[in-house]
Amino acid sequence: MNKRNKTLISLLILIMIFSYGSYYLVMEGDIKIESLNIENGQVKLDDWDEEATIASLNGDWKYYDRLLTSEISETSDSKYINIPENKKILVTDNYYRYGTYTLVITGLKANHPYGIYSDAQISAYNLYANELLVLSNGNVSSNKEDHVSEWKPKSGTVYSDKAGTLNLAMEISNYEYSDGPFWGAIKLSSSDNIFSNHIIKLLIDYVLMLIFFLIAIILLGIYVFLKLDKSVLYFALFLADVGIRLLVTSSRPIMHVFGGISWNVMVRTEYATGYLLLPLFSLFVLSLIKFKYIEKIEKVLLTVSGLIVITVALTNHNVYTNWQIMNIYLWLALFVFIIFIGLVANYYRGDTIAKIIFTIVFINFISALVNQILGSAVSYMPVAMLNAVFGMGAIVIIGLLKVIRQNEILAISAMIDQLTGLHNRFYFNEFNQDGFDSIKSDNMYVMFADLDRFKFVNDTHGHMEGDSVLRKVCQRIRNAIRKDDILIRYGGDEFVLLVYAENNQEIFNIADRMITSINRRIIHEKKEHQIGISIGITKCSSKSHKTLADYVKTSDVAMYQAKSNGGNSYVML
């Protein structure tokens, strides 16, 4: 592994360590999130430290079906429901619900303010604390037509009463979503902890979203303007999909930028982008490893992507949010991911740098996943995703650099004469169109040279001997001019030279050196050859609109005059 690749690997590891460390300090730091064990709709918090802990109000809330807070009495029927609700329980229960959940918290400080946070409720709700409305989302109604869901995390302040008691009541209506009325439990802590936690989550989502969008836009620009490998395009589309998904999930940044977005648009966008992650990631990996049947698989995956969008856009939400379908999809994603690990390991077995980066990305994902499985209150998957983007981006960049380098090598080799190593006619044509005007000056001379008696060498001794003689002639011409002067093999034994000189006398001296040098005997494998050269010269003008080809025509005429004078001489026109 070369020094540049070692530096890249070291930089990637440092970025990952820094990102995880920063995420830990921001999301955890000295504040711990503790899930409470609520039983029978009550919990006692005598020893709770509000400054050091964020309490997650998980457990059995008392539920009153089809009753609002104002309608509940001591004789009202109730049952206990565990919050957050389990999807498997909901399979046998009523998916859609209208009613009120209550919770009594005791052991708090008397008449004390606390911060409260509701992050992922997907239904319409009104949250009351000691009979005061503190949070509201959408419009709660027993009538489906009047019900309006609003998918926006919110935070507020509640006050305990003089006995240190907090009575919470959550009125809720849900007519749309089969995942039940709750996704996440309500959080309680000091006001500073709650509001800072809310802002930090929103800020992290914004930063991640902007990074994904920015990288996606840059890669799309690179693909459009440089017409490079499709892996760049698919990686950009994958990142854009992740960015859009971040807009409508977690702290839902889109709700803070564009208010009034309907539940229908939000949920369809969330699931469409979620389902598109697998086919887009598959397209990226397969194009990256140059899979044999990539073109056929591309069509299949693009078709699948289109069907996903159409299905989510046109079907009832119960179709695309069905838990069994989601479960199958997650297992399929895991299976595909394992297959890809094998394919990538096989494809990059000779590419140390790519293999190491893939290994780092894999460890990065597994670490975050294990942390989540072990029950950590803070998920590190967002930062794992970000680091994976950096890692895969590094591989894409390395691939781009290889392609660019290969293209440059091909471009350069296409402009080099394979026999003599000089610039060739293709270079002349390109330079005539794009480069000549930028270097044209009053001190530039264009010389057109043709060898004398070279055809005799080819006819008498064969082309292999002629090639050897021609190479030695080219070296002598190169030695007669400066390094900055341009020498082009125009064709056969004809040459075009672009030479800088202060005046005509200097260019004549250069022509004399060329004639003297080439006129010396050339000995190759005990064979002696006497070669001459005829040179036509014309001076450039910075004010002229002539092209290089125009000056070459004039020099060509001058060269023929030199040749008609007996050769081994020069003429300037």
pLDDT band at 208 (very low <50, low <70, confident <90, very high): confident
What does the pLDDT read at residue 440? 84
- State yes or no: pLDDT of 350 exceeds 70: no
What does the pLDDT read at residue 532? 92
Lowest mean pLDDT among 198-202, 339-343, 527-531, 559-563: 339-343
285-309 per-residue burial string, b: 16 or more CB within 10 A, e: under 16: bbbbbebeebeeebeebeeebeebe
Distance CA 388, CA 392 (A): 6
pLDDT band at 24 (very low <50, low <70, confident <90, very high): confident
What does the pLDDT read at residue 241? 92
pLDDT band at 537 (very low <50, low <70, confident <90, very high): very high
- State yes or no: pLDDT of 286 exceeds 90: no
Between 191-226 and 3-27, two packed helices, what is the crossing angle to 10 degrees? 150
| Three-class secondary structure of residue 33 per DSSP | strand
Pairing of strands 113-118, 132-137: unpaired
pLDDT tens digits, 29-38 = 656 778 888 9
Distance (Å) of CA 559 to CA 486, 533, 565: 18, 9, 10
Q: For the chain, which residues make up each domain, given as ranges?
A: 3-24+211-246+257-410, 32-189, 425-572
Lowest mean pLDDT among 108-122, 382-396, 452-466, 527-541: 382-396
Distance (Å) of CA 429 to CA 399, 490, 506: 31, 10, 28
Query: Which DSSP string do the residues of 234-256 spell out, in sequence order?
Result: HHHHHHHHHHHHHHHSTT-HHHH
- State yes or no: pLDDT of 18 exceeds 50: yes
Distance CA 419, CA 437 (A): 29
- State yes or no: pLDDT of 100 exceeds 90: yes
- State yes or no: pLDDT of 254 exceeds 80: yes
Nearest alpha carbon to residue 420 among 491, 349, 330: 491
Distance CA 358, CA 335 (A): 17
Between 348 and 553, whose confidence is greater? 553
Token code pair at residue 528:
């002696």
- State yes or no: pLDDT of 85 exceeds 60: yes
* Encoded amino acid at 405, one letter: R
What does the pLDDT read at residue 410? 64
Between 403 and 203, whose confidence is greater? 203
* DSSP label of 260: T
Residue 318: how many CB atoms within 10 A of its CB?
Answer: 12
Mean pLDDT of all residues in 301-313 = 92
What are the helix (H) ranges across 289-424?
Answer: 294-314, 317-320, 323-347, 352-373, 381-414
Distance CA 192, CA 384 (A): 28
pLDDT band at 306 (very low <50, low <70, confident <90, very high): very high
pLDDT band at 91 (very low <50, low <70, confident <90, very high): very low
Lowest mean pLDDT among 239-248, 334-343, 484-493: 334-343
- State yes or no: pLDDT of 89 exceeds 60: no
Distance CA 128, CA 134 (A): 6
- Mean pLDDT in the chain? 84
Mean pLDDT of all residues in 50-76 = 91
Q: Which long-range contacts (CB under 8 A, 24 or more apart) does 497-503 make?
A: 497/446, 497/447, 497/448, 497/449, 498/439, 498/444, 498/445, 498/446, 498/447, 498/548, 499/444, 499/445, 499/447, 500/441, 500/443, 500/444, 500/445, 501/443, 501/445, 502/443
- State yes or no: pLDDT of 98 exceeds 80: yes
Token code pair at residue 48:
């709770």
What does the pLDDT read at residue 223? 84
Between 535 and 259, whose confidence is greater? 535
Residue 283: how many CB atoms within 10 A of its CB?
Answer: 23
pTM above 0.85, yes or no: no
If you count them, how many residues does the chain have? 573
- State yes or no: pLDDT of 482 exceeds 90: no
- The radius of gyration computed from the CA coordinates of the chain, to the nearest angstrom, equals 38
- State yes or no: pLDDT of 92 exceeds 50: no
What does the pLDDT read at residue 378? 67
Omega of the bond leading into 84 within 30 degrees of 0 (cis): yes
Token code pair at residue 303:
């078709």
Q: Point out which residues pair with 114 in neighbouring strands.
A: 158
Distance (Å) of CA 291 to CA 281, 347, 352, 440, 543: 14, 9, 19, 49, 56
What does the pLDDT read at residue 31? 67
3-state secondary structure 140-202: CCCCCCCCECCCCCEEEEEECCCCCCEEEEEEEEECCCCCCCCCCCCEEECHHHHHHHHHHHH
Lowest mean pLDDT among 111-115, 170-174, 326-330: 326-330
Between 308 and 331, whose confidence is greater? 308
Q: Which long-range contacts (CB under 8 A, 24 or more apart) does 299-308 make?
A: 304/279, 305/276, 305/279, 305/280, 308/272, 308/275, 308/276, 308/279
- State yes or no: pLDDT of 63 exceeds 60: yes
pLDDT band at 115 (very low <50, low <70, confident <90, very high): very high
Who's near 499: CB < 8 A, 6+ residues apart? Answer: 444, 445, 447, 481, 482, 485, 507, 510
CATH code for the part of the protein at 32-189? 2.60.120.260
pLDDT tens digits, 421-478 = 888 888 888 888 877 887 888 889 999 999 998 888 888 888 888 889 999 999 999 9
Token code pair at residue 225:
């303007």
Q: Give, for 135, the enclosing helix (H) or strand (E).
A: strand 132-137
Mean pLDDT of all residues in 494-500 = 93
Q: Are 176 and 117 in contact, with CB atoms under 8 Å apart? A: no
3-state secondary structure 272-286: HHHHHHHHHHHHHHH
| Whole-number percent of the chain with pLDDT over 90 | 33
- State yes or no: pLDDT of 344 exceeds 90: no
Distance CA 494, CA 534 (A): 10
What does the pLDDT read at residue 551? 94
In CATH terms, the fold of domain 425-572 is Alpha-Beta Plaits (3.30.70)
